[in-house]
Amino acid sequence: MSGEIKLIAGTSHPALAAEIAAHLGVALTETEIIRFGNENILFQCKENVRESDVFVIQTSCPPVSDLLLELLIVIDALKHASARRITAVLPYFPYARSDKKDRPRISITARLIADLLEAAGADRVLTMNLHSPQVQGFFRIPVDHLNATPIVCNYLRETSNLKHAVLVASDVGEAKDLGEYANRLKLPMAIIDKRRHDDSESPVAVALIGDVAGKAALIIDDEIASGGTMIEAAGFLRKNGATHIEAAAVHPVLSGHAVERLRDSPIERLVVTNTIPLPEPKRDPRIEVVSVAELFADAIRAIHTGDSVSKLFA
């Protein structure tokens, strides 16, 4: 595409934006974002973006809705500043889990987010490890869906003793994604069978499909939010004879008391990526962060030049 690359960082994750810019060898575009006393947001781009290929980096983290509105305001301002193309770079997609109507009279909010981004003026979206890949179908603009699995697998291969390891899905729904990890790491799989006895109860682990006795168990998930599912799985694996338990997740949401619960759990190490910032209260020696900045930089470069994005994580 003609026109230069312009990288604009929202206020959600400035460290990741700076790292992406460093890998690309470009400076972040100078901007100003003001929050007034009445909670209104003002964005101003301090540089000319006319006919530029602009990438706006904004992940989903607290305060989620405030940062989403900030992103929409930034995109709208750039559209009216005559940017040639605007790509919303969303390392963690907002409202990603609200992707279906599984109870009466609720919003499919992930689809609503797609509509809002398009209405604001986004020409395409770049994101990573959607909770449900079919969310791409909510858009009428191109969506490039990056996959952090190769990065996480490489890190696990370099830092873990996988000789007697088994990969574990905390429920049947995670089994498909787990298969990709198993193929890359050449490890066996196990799946925890969960059952819900009635609508008032949370699902309870009742059986294990596979064998973890005397082995190191590695729980895999796309994200860790409250940590309840992963920690419950770890306890169940311990009861079934696992000698060592680790976990990996792409998106470290870590909401509420997740970190405190993790400290009291059998999980000895948690590997995550930096799609979401980890403020000081959420940091812990057992949490290890792998960067996805280089992959995002390579994807941005490929989008700009018209090269293939999917080959980056083949």
Active-site residues, by number, are: 194
* Backbone angles phi and psi of 140, in degrees to 5: -105, 10
The alpha carbon of residue 279 and the mean position of all alpha carbons in its chain are separated, in whole angstroms, by 16
Token digits for 28? 């972040």
Q: How many Å apart are CA 262 and CA 243, to the nearest integer? A: 17
Q: How many Å apart are CA 272 and CA 250, to the nearest integer? A: 5
Amino acid at the residue 303: I
CA atoms within a 13 Å half-sphere pointing along the CA-CB vector of 217? 29
Amino acid at the residue 147: N
Token digits for 122? 């986004």
* Backbone angles phi and psi of 240, in degrees to 5: -95, 15
Task: Please report the DSSP string for 207-245 in residue order.
Answer: EEES--TTSEEEEEEEEESSSHHHHHHHHHHHHTT-SEE
Beta bridge partners of 223: 251
Residue where the block lists tokens 């998930």: 221
Q: How many Å apart are CA 64 and CA 80, to the nearest integer? A: 25
